[in-house]
């Protein structure tokens, strides 16, 4: 049984040259300038802006940050830290001395005095006050039982009789008198309020209004002739300082930053026009007519070898080995 030869595969359809060449030319015209501009911008950033930024950072660090840090370090080292150490040492010494004095006083003065006082109080209470108190308690109990209780009963009877026949009538008379006195006092209070206290209150209110008006006038005069001129002077000073800072910033921008920026822009434009653009055009021309043509020829040869040799040979070998599905 013979194996049929594989049918030759038709070549892959390719776009005509009148379509591919304009597309390639357009790609070169668009991509290459963009790539060159990107390369120029990267080189300008790396070799121009980065050194300028590092130089400005070095100047700021050397002329401003480093002196300020050195001054702050010297101030901390020779003024603040010695003062804090001295204050801490003095405070510690004072606290230690006070603690030692208090400890000595407690040990040699307050503790012996307290011990002696406690012993004296214990002795007096145990051997003098306690027997005297017990004797006085027995005497008081006897007096209460045999003297005060009978006297109390007699006095209670007398008090009840006095309340019943003396104090109650006197209390009723006093209550009636108090009611009459209360009415008289109420009338006196109303009259006193109407003809004495109210005119005095009105006079005090008029005086307070006058004093309030005087205080308000004083406050207005103080604001108008003292606080407002001081505030205007402070505002004028702040505006003058702000104007000076703005003038300094404008001067710095006009005579330092703007000339530096113009010089950098002129150098970048000069390098692009007279160095990078001719080099790019030369590289593009060389690539287009030397290496590009060689690479395109190699690519066309590789495609022909793949389509006309390798694929048919692979198909024949698969058919011979029985690998075709």
- The pLDDT tens digits of the residues spanning 39-63 come to 788 888 888 888 888 888 888 888 8
Residue 80: count other Cβ atoms within 10 Å of its Cβ: 11
Closest CA to 31 of 294, 290, 296, 288: 288
Q: Is the pLDDT of residue 2 over 60?
A: no
Is-contact 40 280, C-beta < 8 A?
Answer: no
Q: What is the pLDDT of residue 17?
A: 52
pTM of the model: 0.27
Is-contact 257 9, C-beta < 8 A?
Answer: no
The token pair at 100 is: 């030692």
Is-contact 29 284, C-beta < 8 A?
Answer: no
For the chain, percent of residues with pLDDT exceeding 70: 88
pLDDT tens figures, 230-242: 889 998 998 999 8
pLDDT tens figures, 107-136: 888 888 888 888 888 888 888 888 888 888
pLDDT tens figures, 263-298: 888 988 888 888 888 888 888 888 777 777 777 777
In this prediction, residues 134-140 reach a mean pLDDT of 87
Q: What is the pLDDT of residue 312?
A: 79
Average pLDDT value over all residues in the chain: 82
Distances (CA, A) of 161 to 78, 147, 158, 169, 174: 96, 21, 5, 12, 19
Query: Minimum mean pLDDT among 5-9, 78-82, 163-167, 200-204: which range?
Result: 5-9
In this prediction, residues 179-197 reach a mean pLDDT of 86
Please provide the DSSP assignment of 134-191 as one string: HHHHHHHHHHIIIIIHHHHHHHHHHHHHHIIIIIHHHHHHHHHHHHHHHHHHHHHHHH
CA 54/CA 227 separation, integer angstroms: 50
In this prediction, residues 220-239 reach a mean pLDDT of 89
CA 296/CA 260 separation, integer angstroms: 47
CA 298/CA 276 separation, integer angstroms: 30
Residue matched to tokens 């070799």: 47
Residue matched to tokens 């000339």: 259
Is-contact 268 48, C-beta < 8 A?
Answer: yes
């Amino acid at each position: 049984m013979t194996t049929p030869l594989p049918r030759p595969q038709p070549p892959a359809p390719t776009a005509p040259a009148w379509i591919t060449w304009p597309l390639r030319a357009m790609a070169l015209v668009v991509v290459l300038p963009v790539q060159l501009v990107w390369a120029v911008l990267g080189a300008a950033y790396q070799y121009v802006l980065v050194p300028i930024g590092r130089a400005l950072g070095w100047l700021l660090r050397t002329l401003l940050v480093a002196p300020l840090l050195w001054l702050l370090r010297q101030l901390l080292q020779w003024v603040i830290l010695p003062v804090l150490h001295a204050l801490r040492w003095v405070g510690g010494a004072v606290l230690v001395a006070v603690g030692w004095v208090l400890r000595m006083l407690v040990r040699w003065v307050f503790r012996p005095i307290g011990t002696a006082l406690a012993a004296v109080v214990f002795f007096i209470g145990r051997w003098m006050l306690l027997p005297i108190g017990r004797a006085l308690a027995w005497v008081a109990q006897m007096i209460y039982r045999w003297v005060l209780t009978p006297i109390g009963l007699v006095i209670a009877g007398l008090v009840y009789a006095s309340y019943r026949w003396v104090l109650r009538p006197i209390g009723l008379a006093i209550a009636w008198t108090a009611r009459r006195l209360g009415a008289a006092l109420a009338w006196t209070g109303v009259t006193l309020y109407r003809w004495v206290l109210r005119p005095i209150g009105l006079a005090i209110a008029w005086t307070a209004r006058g004093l309030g008006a005087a205080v308000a006038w004083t406050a207005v005069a103080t604001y108008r002739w003292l606080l407002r001129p001081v505030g205007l002077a402070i505002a004028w000073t702040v505006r003058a300082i702000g104007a000076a800072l703005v003038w300094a910033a404008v001067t710095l921008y006009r005579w330092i930053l703007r000339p530096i920026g113009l010089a950098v822009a002129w150098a970048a434009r000069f390098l692009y026009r007279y160095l990078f653009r001719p080099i790019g055009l030369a590289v593009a021309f060389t690539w287009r007519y030397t290496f590009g043509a060689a690479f395109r020829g190699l690519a066309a040869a590789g495609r022909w070898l793949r389509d006309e040799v390798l694929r048919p040979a692979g198909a024949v070998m698969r058919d011979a080995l029985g690998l075709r599905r």
